[in-house]
Amino acid sequence: MADIATLRRLLRDTRTIAVVGLSANWYRPSFFAAKYMQDHGYRIIPVNPAYTEVLGETCYPSLEAIPEPVDMVDVFRRAEELPAIVDSAIAIGARTVWMQLGVINQEAAERARAAGLDVVMDRCVKIEHGRLFGGLRWMGVNTGVISARRPV
């Protein structure tokens, strides 16, 4: 489990994020999180064979097809797909593998750590960025749209 100092360091030092499983549908969590990170200065590289472009960026069919260095691989895929994704992250020289909420694969995490990568598992990059860098008011959190107060 990554501690607050580690999460802060990873998010501070990361500039380029390859988002595996990024959807072009605005209502999907992957789109929501990637858009937030893009709007906060991160370079987002979509990875999804179903699209050619997402968020105004060229979308690649695999991590190996990306023609530039990647700092972080953010994964929005099922846990059983993680071993192959981790192998690809290692192959392209990524520094971090970030597994989104609900994506847990201990074997893949250990393989990534053994190769020298930082690993974050079962956390949302958008939520952690907002929590640690003050962006919780942005898009859907603390907007008053969802409230525990009864309507008047």
CATH number for 10: 3.40.50.720
13 pLDDT tier (thresholds 50, 70, 90): very high
Domain assignment present for residue 145? The answer is no
2 pLDDT tier (thresholds 50, 70, 90): confident
Residue 22 structural domain: 4-133
pLDDT digits (tens, 9 = 90+) for 77-132: 999 999 999 999 999 999 999 999 999 999 999 999 999 999 999 999 999 998 88
Give the global pTM: 0.86
Domain assignment present for residue 140? The answer is no
pLDDT at 146: 45
Domain assignment present for residue 144? The answer is no
Q: What is the dihedral of CA 42, 107, 110, 105, to 10 degrees?
A: 30
| Residue from 65, 62, 64, 70 nearest 20 by CA | 62
**One-letter amino acid for residue 70 of the chain:** V
- The whole-chain average pLDDT of the chain stands at 90
pLDDT at 149: 56
Count of structural domains within the chain: 1
- Distance CA(22)–CA(12), nearest Å, equals 22
